[in-house]
């Protein structure tokens, strides 16, 4: 018993892959024939698919749906990065349509919550972050997060270990983006609200949380225009 799609794929420049050859055989006869009697449906669907994609054969080595593109991993059109390889913007895929934030990899690197957020240490009062990661002896614990300002294409990075309160943080951010303001005519810092993305991928207002909660879970920052 076999499930075969009966496809004739466009000739593949790199590998003479014929899906027919790899037609799947069900072992031990587990699946009954009735599942596969109506292969016409499958073929029709697939034939249509292939007909479209064969026109685009020049675009890719194998038939890839048009809705996808494989991003080059060392170029991101919208941002100038401080570092050539930006961990958080690596994606082999175009971002999901409605994901306005676009960037940020949920769940990567693959470590459980209990092991996360090692880097930030509140040295002023000696407290350690909740998950038990005090600062190691090294001074180079990296505490940079990315900051984007709504309306400005270029993101910046800020070292959170230099700050102990939202006031100093906001002031620094305003200075950082200050040049843009002059150019765009915005002068009032009250027009912007600071939001941050926590380790779960959720975006939260900094005004709603304590500094301690914020510093323990922040992954990235955004300055958004207050509406109204």
- Judged by CB under 8 A, the chain residues 20 through 59 that form the site for another protein are 22-27, 30-31, 35-36, 41-42, 45-46, 49
Considering only residues 102 through 141, tell me which ones interact with another protein, judged by CB under 8 A. Answer: 105-116, 118-119, 128, 130, 132-138, 140-141
- Strands ordered across the beta sheet of 156-159: 156-159, 144-149, 220-225, 192-197, 203-205
Task: Say whether residue 151 binds another protein (CB under 8 A).
Answer: no
- Return d(Cα 64, Cα 58) in angstroms, integer: 11
Q: How far apart are CA 13 and CA 148, in angstroms?
A: 42
Question: What SS3 state is found at 204?
Answer: strand
Six-digit token string for 179: 């040049």
Asked if 15 touches another protein (CB under 8 A), the answer is: yes
Nearer residue to another protein within complex by CB, 14 or 207: 14
Contacts of 35 (CB under 8 A, 6+ apart): 3
**80-99: contacts with another protein (CB under 8 A):** 82-83, 85-87, 90-93, 96-98
Q: Are strands 144-149 and 220-225 parallel, antiparallel or unpaired?
A: parallel
Query: Nearest approach, Cβ of 170 to another protein (angstroms)?
Result: 22
* 11 binding another protein? (CB under 8 A): no
| Closer of 68 and 151 to another protein (Cβ) | 68
Say how many residues touch another protein, by CB under 8 A: 77
**Toward another protein, which CB reaches closer, 71 or 174?**
71
Q: What are the CA-CA distances from residue 67 to residues 12, 21, 60, 94 (Å)?
A: 20, 28, 13, 9
The distance of closest approach from Cβ of residue 184 to another protein in the complex, given in angstroms and rounded to an integer, is 28
In whole angstroms, what separates CA 105 from the centre of its chain? Answer: 3
Q: Closest distance between another protein and the C-beta of residue 71, in Å? A: 10
């Amino acid at each position: 018993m076999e499930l075969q799609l009966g496809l004739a794929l466009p000739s593949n420049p790199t590998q003479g892959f014929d899906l027919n050859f790899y037609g799947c055989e069900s072992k031990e006869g587990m699946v009954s024939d009735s599942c596969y009697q109506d292969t016409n449906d499958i073929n029709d669907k697939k034939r249509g698919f292939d007909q479209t994609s064969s026109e685009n054969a020049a675009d890719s080595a194998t038939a890839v749906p048009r809705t996808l593109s494989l991003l080059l991993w060392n170029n991101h059109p919208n941002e100038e990065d401080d570092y050539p390889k930006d961990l958080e913007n690596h994606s082999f895929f175009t971002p999901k349509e409605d994901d306005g934030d676009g960037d940020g990899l949920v769940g990567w690197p693959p470590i459980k919550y209990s092991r996360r957020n090692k880097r930030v240490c509140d040295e002023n009062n000696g407290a350690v972050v909740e998950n038990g990661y005090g600062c190691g002896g090294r001074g180079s614990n990296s505490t940079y997060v990315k900051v984007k300002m709504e309306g400005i294409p270029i993101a910046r990075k800020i070292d959170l270990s230099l700050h102990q309160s939202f006031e100093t943080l906001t002031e620094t951010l305003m200075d950082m983006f200050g040049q843009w303001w002059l150019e765009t005519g915005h002068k009032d810092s009250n027009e912007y609200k600071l939001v941050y993305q926590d380790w779960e991928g959720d975006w939260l207002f900094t005004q709603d949380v304590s500094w301690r909660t914020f510093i323990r879970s922040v992954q990235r920052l955004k300055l958004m225009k207050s509406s109204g």
